[in-house]
Amino acid sequence: MRIDHIGIAVENLDDAIRLYEETAGLVLTHREEVRTQKVRVAFLGHPGEAEGATEIELLEPTGEEGAIASFLRKRGPGLHHLAFHADSVGREMARLKSSGRPPLQEAPRPGARGHHVCFLHPKDCGGALLELVGAP
């Protein structure tokens, strides 16, 4: 599976967008609030790259609740997850479950950009939180 995006938890979305624009020349490709996850997200990519190229996902909590708010309290801003593209998240979930690495969710759930996602616990993945993203 190719890397779809790298997720980074940030305190302030606008400041972080500016940082990646100014340091790496990336451009904003998508911005959205994902209410169910209590985050505002921004995706940035390289302006010359084709659709499907690896992007950076910046995640800012909308309040005190939710996984990103809790992550920031415990660890501060920084690398949060690595996301792999899956043609069918549900099919990959079934495969992972049968191989002894069950995802954290029972079924793909709606995420940003109209995609579906699931997460694998860092304890099963050498310490990194992994996301699968794609069609349900």
Provide the binding-site residues for Co ion, judged by CB under 5 A.
7, 57, 83, 131
Interatomic CA distance for residues 60 and 43, integer angstroms: 12
H or E segment at 70? helix 67-75
Nearest CB to Co ion, comparing residues 6 and 96: 6
In the complex, the smallest distance separating the C-beta of residue 40 from Co ion, rounded to whole angstroms, is 13
Residue whose C-beta lies closest to Co ion: 7
Residue 19 sits at the vertex; the CA angle it makes with 4 and 5, to the nearest 5 degrees, is 5
Q: What is the CA radius of gyration of the chain?
A: 15
Nearest CB to Co ion, comparing residues 7 and 45: 7
In the complex, the smallest distance separating the C-beta of residue 7 from Co ion, rounded to whole angstroms, is 4
Nearest CB to Co ion, comparing residues 29 and 100: 29
Nearest CB to Co ion, comparing residues 44 and 98: 44
Which residues contact residue 43 at a Cβ distance below 8 angstroms, ignoring those fewer than 6 apart? 5, 28, 29, 30, 31, 55, 56, 57, 58, 112, 113
In the complex, the smallest distance separating the C-beta of residue 105 from Co ion, rounded to whole angstroms, is 14
Place of tokens 């499907």: 52
In the complex, the smallest distance separating the C-beta of residue 111 from Co ion, rounded to whole angstroms, is 7
